[in-house]
Chain A
Amino acid sequence: MPAAEEPVAAATDFELLQRTASGDGLAFAEFVDRHQTAVFRHAVCLLGRREDAEDLLQETFLAALKAAAGYRGDASGRTWLFRIARNAALRRMEKPQPLPETDLTLEALAVRAGWGVANPESLAILADDRRRLGQALAALPRDEREILLLREWENLSGEETASLLGLSLAAMKSRLHRARIHLAALLRCDTGGRDE
């Protein structure tokens, strides 16, 4: 029997995309269903705003539909989609948006985050406040927000994250560490989205 008659739920991403390329709409629907939430979250990481992320989500899957025949299975379907989303997001920022600059050392950020402060308010309680967390994430430099959320929301391994971002594993770990402490500093300062 032709592969197109096999149940889509059991098919690999590679099989789904091959079937998509030959016009199997059900296979593409399964591929979308499988990855849409992860791509959406990655779009939030890249762009910061939910509304922009929803546009990028659609743009990513439209591009994936056109590129389905070219998928070789070298990366997972999810990582392939993340690359498409990332390239589309970077194109949107033709002139890269100015990133929130911070020259603070890791230690200085940690002090702002409560390192060495007696009885500070719990960071978890601060992070549980969605508005505060949203502002702190939006204020992080994009490269730090992206790496942090790839790990904390998508549970990408260190190797997958480094590969997606074109970084060495050591550079990825260093940036992730700074991003975590930076987020803690922003949560504690609650400067309405800016750390001076």
Chain B
Amino acid sequence: MIQFEGNQLVGGLWCSDILAALSQYIDGELDAPAVAQVNVHLERCVNCARFGADVSSMLASLSRQRPELSRERKARLMQVLSAEAERNRPVT
């Protein structure tokens, strides 16, 4: 079983506590006292500080790579849907 052997108690929190709270920290969902406590740990624990920054930057890279639809594909889609909308138009 893979385990993290460098789990340290720093600033009242274990590295494993930081890992558990990382997404909430990144998403700004922790309250002020909890943020302050995490910050104390991050200032003194190189591993957690690096890992947290690394995950944040990975998420930023992921966000930048949102797939886009090509103009041609949009035009084709609109063609198919317009024809279908025309077929479905209620008779007045």
Contacts and interface: CB of A to CB of B under 8 A. Distances in A.
Describe A's contact surface by its main secondary structure: helix
B89 A58 contact: no
Interface residues of A, number: 52
Contacts of B80: 58, 62
A153 B85 contact: no
Given A32-B78, A58-B80, A181-B55, A127 B19 contact: no
Contact of B77 (A50, A58, A148, A180): A58
Interface size class of B (residues with CB under 8 A): 35 or more
Given A111-B2, A116-B5, A183-B62, A65 B67 contact: no
A62 B47 CA distance: 51
A148 B23 CA distance: 12
Interface string A52-71: 00100110011001100000
A122 B54 contact: yes
B33 interface: no
A37 B73 CA distance: 11
Nearest to A20: B85
Given A37-B68, A104-B2, A116-B5, A133 B62 contact: yes
Given A25-B86, A111-B2, A123-B57, A152 B63 contact: yes
A123 B23 contact: no
Contacts of B19: 106-107, 110, 115, 181
Lowest 3 CB-CB distances: which A-B pairs, in order? A124-B57, A123-B58, A127-B61
Interface of B: 1-6, 15-16, 19-20, 22-24, 29, 47, 51, 54-55, 57-63, 65-69, 73-74, 77-78, 80-82, 84-86, 88-90, 92
Interface of A: 20, 22-23, 25, 28-29, 32-33, 36-37, 40-41, 44, 50, 54, 57-58, 61-62, 65-66, 104, 106-108, 110-116, 120, 122-124, 126-128, 130, 133, 148, 152-153, 173, 176-177, 180-181, 183-184, 187
